[in-house]
Amino acid sequence: MHFSFMGKQGGSHPEENKSRTSKLPIVDASVPKIMVFPVAMHIGAPAKPVVEIGDQVKAGQIIAEEGGFVSAHVYSSVSGEVIGLEKRPTVGGEADSIIIKNDYQYTKADPIVEPGHSHEMSKDDILSTVRKAGIVGMGGATFPTAVKLSPPPGMTIDTLIINGAECEPYSTSDHRVMVEHADEIIDGINLSRKLFPQLKKIYIGIEDNKPDAIKKMKEAAAEFDDISVRPLKSMYPQGSEKNLIQNLAGREVPPGGLPAEVRCVVANTSTIRSVYRACEYGEPLIERIVSVSGTPVKEPKNLRVKIGTPMDSLIDDCGGFAEVPGKVFGGGPMMGKTVSDLGVPIIKGTTAVTVLTPEEAHIGEEQDCIMCAECIHVCPVSLQPILISEAFERGNIEKAKELGAMDCIECGNCSFICPSKIPLLENIRSAKAAIKQKEEK
Amino acid sequence: MAQAIDVQGKLRVGPSPHIRSKRTSAWVMDQVIIAMIPPVIAATYFFGWWVLGMIIISTTTAVASEYLYQKLTYKPTTIHDHSAALTGMLIGLSLPVTAPIWMIVFGSVFAIVIVKQLGGGIGRNYFNPAVAARVVTKAFFTPWLANWVLPGGLFGSGYRGVDAVATATPLEFIGDGMRVVPEGAVPDFFELFMGFNLGGNIGETSKLAILIGMLYLIFRRVINPKIPILFIVTTFVTMGLWSSFNFEFMMTHALTGTLFFGATYMATDYSSGSLTPEGKTVFAIGCGLLTAFFRITLDHPGGVGYSILIMNALAPFIDSKLMPRIYGHKSRPQTKFNRQSTNHI
């Protein structure tokens, strides 16, 4: 029983369903013949392809260059031949993609920087390496990391928060990265110290349902006084950036603002590890850890996946489906995006592939609101979701805005908890879109 | 594709979140109905088999009147959300065993048609249907309701408790300006708590039974514990201030009348109560203060019902003043919102 006397909980408790994969060591995924690389696997401008059909590429060779300041390079994760430049289904709709036929030679391109010199790197060296490696937020947000790690001029950073909360049900990729690669995460943190000279405190926030990860991270961080591994109550969405800053640093990001405005930077565990590997080994971001789970999956696994691998190959690695899947999505069930085609590739921000049975994915029939106030109770940013939803349904966009629609972080708690199955988040999203449209006019 | 099950074209797509909690509106209502079983058992034990007859009549009437009203007005039927059954059961439990059948029927029809449906339907009504029906019934039909009887036991009392001994409710001795409990006027604490030798509305005699129901609802996370707790404690403490902390007086007030029953099953109603976390606190304390006020000033029982109705009317204003401060903002949202406007479905 979860219980809050004041009636403000700020989170919900969906069934975690992590036990099928949380103890499984990471294993290599198989690499299929055809790999698909969308040029927009990050927030910001799509990358521009720099290869032509028929080109031979090496593993770790750049195939699309960043299309602007907020953008990221795309690298091939295999060696082979470029056989297509076309639109392909991706998580989040059709997108321009580079198709590469794997030659299974794994001929490696030169590292992006000379390996073994990360400790000698200056601030600018690190930032340029992160940019060169095409690293983006690997917790799912896919915001280019080099941009995130360079706060706007005039803003100082005194707190670095490493997000190991992994509050999405089923997902265990960050969990396994922390258990198996704690040292590389700490090395990444130590590298990033150079970026923030005023840094005073580093928090690693981990939900208390991962005691083994907490233990490993504590051991790895033991010799650094300013690194504090903080167990967090297991509650969705504990890993949201705004809530981590509130719970760990005791600060609140102003509306529409950046964490840097309250002197914080938040990075995912896998992202900070990739920063280290890029600087130390000269590795561009061409692989990541993906947990594959859900009732229909025969043998769920934590896989080391080459970016560009279609989802069906991962499902095959997990023994296929034991029963008919109803919904498959990239990410967890609370914020993940559905796919209609298993040919969709794993991209830099795919933390997990989650499969639900039709029954599990069933959303009951919508009924009238009974005013139970549960949506208000679980909202992590203290909105009143039902009121925003109703304001929108009555066509009162101005009211939806006054009630804070733009502050919604779209965690999905309100829709999840609603006993009347009202599509609260959908309505709030529509309200946000309408507000934006109105403001642009 | 190697997997044996072909999924192409079969996968469903849709916006996140992709899972829903198992709780449904009907489940929530069912929990309250389950939580009323202990008071029903206690009432049957104390007042006899006719209690079950009363509850069947009130519940059936409530469900039937909701169904008929919605049929006659071409509205979708909502009896499957079980809220009408819940209201009916509450009405049955808040009448004395002597209440005539026509009054039970009147109470249920009034609650469902006038208060609930004309008030906008589920989730929209300003007033708690059961409380409003009870207060109105009392106001109009006092002669039929004031003949309290002592419980005659499971087999000792027949239809409408006809053979039972007439009595007065303890509130008639400790209200109306009293500051002490007159010697020998009311049963002792244990009897008040258990419901022995206590006349009154059938559902509210055994505090033990209500407490079991309350704990069940808290454990199931259906009601917010602060509502019943703050309601009862506020009345208790206010009575302490009034009586210079006469413990016997305070305890007798806490354990008599509709306080426990109202705080558990009525003040916790969703649509007529406060929506915001702080609003709920104000709502519960307000109910407690008003109950104490009415008990001090009135010479007849009914303070809990009046208090809940007054706070029902104030709840929308309380909510609009106490909207939660949104993350990152300096003040509460500066806006008003009338949640009780008509249903969109």
A101: number of Cβ within 10 Å: 14
Q: What is the pLDDT of residue B147?
A: 61
Residues A217, A157, single domain; the answer is yes
* Residue B11 sits at the chain A interface (C-beta within 8 Å): yes
Q: Which of A329, A371, A383 sits opposite B270 (nearest CB)?
A: A371
- B75 versus B188: the higher-pLDDT residue is B75
Residues A216, A126, single domain; the answer is yes
Q: What is the pLDDT of residue B197?
A: 76
DSSP conformational letter for A346? P
A24 inside domain: no
Is the pLDDT score of B3 beyond 60? no
Residues A193, A239, single domain; the answer is yes
B342: number of Cβ within 10 Å: 9
* Residue A363 sits at the chain B interface (C-beta within 8 Å): yes
CA distance readout (Å), B248 to A78, B105, B200? 83, 38, 20
What is the average per-residue pLDDT within B213-227? 95
Least confident among B25-39, B131-145, B178-192, B269-283: B178-192
3-state secondary structure of A322: coil
Nearest-CA distance B24 → chain A (Å): 4
* Residue A400 sits at the chain B interface (C-beta within 8 Å): no
Residues of B in contact with A2 (CB under 8 A): 221
Is the pLDDT score of B2 beyond 50? no
Residues of A in contact with B325 (CB under 8 A): 382
Is the pLDDT score of B344 beyond 50? no
* Residue B67 sits at the chain A interface (C-beta within 8 Å): no
CB pairs under 8 A between A and B: 221
Asked if A255's CB is within 8 angstroms of B326's CB, the reply is yes
The structure's pTM equals 0.91
Spell out where A280-365 has E strands: 287-293, 301-306, 327-330, 337-339, 352-356
Residue B200, judged by CB atoms within 10 A of its CB (0-12, 13-18, 19+), counts as buried
| C-alpha closest to that of A185 among A108, A259, A289 | A289
φ, ψ (nearest 5 deg) of residue A160: -110, 130
d(CA B32, CA B51) in angstroms, rounded, equals 19
* Residue B342 sits at the chain A interface (C-beta within 8 Å): no
Put simply, the chain B residues between 318 and 337 with a CB less than 8 A from any chain A CB are 323-329, 333-335, 337
Per-residue pLDDT band for B257 (boundaries 50, 70, 90) equals confident
What is the average per-residue pLDDT within B65-78? 93
Which of A170, A344, A370, A393 to probe by mutation at the B interface, max B CB count within 10 Å?
A370
A21 inside domain: no
A148 inside domain: yes
Q: Which of B270, B334, B345 sits opposite A372 (nearest CB)?
A: B270
Nearest CA in chain B to A311: B1
* CATH number of the domain residue A178 falls in: 3.40.50.11540
Put simply, the chain B residues between 118 and 157 with a CB less than 8 A from any chain A CB are 121-123
Put simply, the chain B residues between 217 and 236 with a CB less than 8 A from any chain A CB are 218-219, 221, 224-226
Nearest-CA distance A391 → chain B (Å): 8
Residues A144, A260, single domain; the answer is yes
Q: What is the tally of helices (H) and strands (E) in chain A?
A: 13, 17
CA distance readout (Å), B164 to A347, B96, B154, B155, B200? 78, 12, 12, 11, 13
Q: What is the pLDDT of residue B146?
A: 61
A10 inside domain: no
Is the pLDDT score of B343 beyond 50? no
A2 inside domain: no
Which of A372, A374, A392, A406 to probe by mutation at the B interface, max B CB count within 10 Å?
A372
Per-residue pLDDT band for B90 (boundaries 50, 70, 90) equals very high
A336 inside domain: yes
What is the average per-residue pLDDT within B9-27? 90
Q: Which regions of chain A are under pLDDT 50?
A: 1-4
Put simply, the chain A residues between 23 and 82 with a CB less than 8 A from any chain B CB are none
Q: Which of A2, A376, A417 sits opposite B276 (nearest CB)?
A: A376
Domain end point (choices A256, A281, A306): A281
Cβ atoms of B47 and B97 within 8 Å: the answer is: yes
Q: Which of B19, B221, B335 sits opposite A14 (nearest CB)?
A: B19
Residues of A in contact with B14 (CB under 8 A): 327, 338, 363
Domain end point (choices A249, A281, A313): A281
Q: How far is CA B113 from the centre of its chain?
A: 18
Sign of CA dihedral B282, B285, B288, B292: negative
Is the pLDDT score of B1 beyond 80? no
Per-residue pLDDT band for B231 (boundaries 50, 70, 90) equals very high
Q: What is the pLDDT of residue A441?
A: 76
Q: What pLDDT, in 10s, does the model give residues B140-197? A: 887 766 666 777 666 656 666 655 566 667 777 777 777 777 776 777 888 888 888 7
Q: Which of B25, B218, B281 sits opposite A367 (nearest CB)?
A: B25
A365 inside domain: no
* Residue A212 sits at the chain B interface (C-beta within 8 Å): no
Asked if A336's CB is within 8 angstroms of B16's CB, the reply is yes
Residues A344, A397, single domain; the answer is no
Q: What pLDDT, in 10s, does the model give residues B45-60? A: 988 889 999 999 999 9
| C-alpha closest to that of A382 among A2, A6, A11, A5 | A11
* Residue A86 sits at the chain B interface (C-beta within 8 Å): no
Q: Are strands A287-293 and A301-306 parallel, antiparallel or unpaired?
A: antiparallel
Q: Which two tokens stand for residue A67?
A: 């299309």
φ, ψ (nearest 5 deg) of residue A96: -60, 130
Q: What is the pLDDT of residue B148?
A: 67
Put simply, the chain A residues between 267 and 296 with a CB less than 8 A from any chain B CB are none
Cβ atoms of B318 and B279 within 8 Å: the answer is: yes
In whole angstroms, how large is the CA radius of gyration of chain B? 22
Per-residue pLDDT band for B315 (boundaries 50, 70, 90) equals very high
Asked if A312's CB is within 8 angstroms of B337's CB, the reply is no
Per-residue pLDDT band for B35 (boundaries 50, 70, 90) equals very high
Residue A183, judged by CB atoms within 10 A of its CB (0-12, 13-18, 19+), counts as middle
A378 inside domain: yes
DSSP conformational letter for B181? P
What is the average per-residue pLDDT within B199-212? 91
Domain containing A93 equals 32-110+286-356
Cβ atoms of B19 and A14 within 8 Å: the answer is: yes
Nearest CA in chain A to B273: A371
Number of domains in chain A: 3
Residues of B in contact with A381 (CB under 8 A): 326-328
What is the average per-residue pLDDT within B276-290? 96
Which H or E run contains A188? Answer: helix A182-192
> Which residues lie closer than 8 Å to A23 by C-beta, 6 or more apart?
none
What is the average per-residue pLDDT within B126-153? 81
Q: What is the pLDDT of residue B165?
A: 61
Residue type, B93: L
What is the average per-residue pLDDT within B122-149? 83
Residues of A in contact with B273 (CB under 8 A): 371
d(CA A278, CA A130) in angstroms, rounded, equals 7
d(CA A405, CA B293) in angstroms, rounded, equals 41
Q: Which two tokens stand for residue B260?
A: 């426990």
Nearest-CA distance A337 → chain B (Å): 7
Residue B196, judged by CB atoms within 10 A of its CB (0-12, 13-18, 19+), counts as middle
Helix, strand, coil share (%) of chain B residues, nearest 5? 55, 0, 45
Q: What is the pLDDT of residue A299?
A: 96
d(CA B130, CA B107) in angstroms, rounded, equals 8
Residues A153, A252, single domain; the answer is yes
Residues A260, A291, single domain; the answer is no
Residues of A in contact with B5 (CB under 8 A): 320-321, 323-325
Mean pLDDT of chain A: 93
Q: What is the pLDDT of residue A1?
A: 30
Residues A255, A163, single domain; the answer is yes
**Cis upstream peptide for B187 (omega within 30°):** no
d(CA A265, CA A198) in angstroms, rounded, equals 12
φ, ψ (nearest 5 deg) of residue A311: -60, -35
DSSP conformational letter for B86? H
Catalogue all structural domains in chain B, each as residue range(s) with its CATH number: 25-321 (1.10.3430)
Domain end point (choices A322, A356, A390): A356
Asked if A387's CB is within 8 angstroms of B339's CB, the reply is yes
Nearest-CA distance A367 → chain B (Å): 8
* Residue A404 sits at the chain B interface (C-beta within 8 Å): yes
* Residue B77 sits at the chain A interface (C-beta within 8 Å): no
Asked if A338's CB is within 8 angstroms of B12's CB, the reply is yes
Residues A380, A417, single domain; the answer is yes
Residues A212, A277, single domain; the answer is yes
Q: What pLDDT, in 10s, does the model give residues A297-347? A: 999 999 999 999 999 999 999 999 999 999 999 999 999 999 988 999 999
Residues A106, A123, single domain; the answer is no
Residues of B in contact with A425 (CB under 8 A): 15-17
Put simply, the chain A residues between 312 and 341 with a CB less than 8 A from any chain B CB are 312, 315-316, 320-321, 323-329, 333-341
Mean pLDDT of chain B: 87
Asked if B219's CB is within 8 angstroms of A419's CB, the reply is no
Cβ atoms of B241 and B78 within 8 Å: the answer is: no
Residues A40, A83, single domain; the answer is yes
Which of B21, B78, B285, B330 to probe by mutation at the A interface, max A CB count within 10 Å?
B21
Nearest CA in chain A to B82: A370
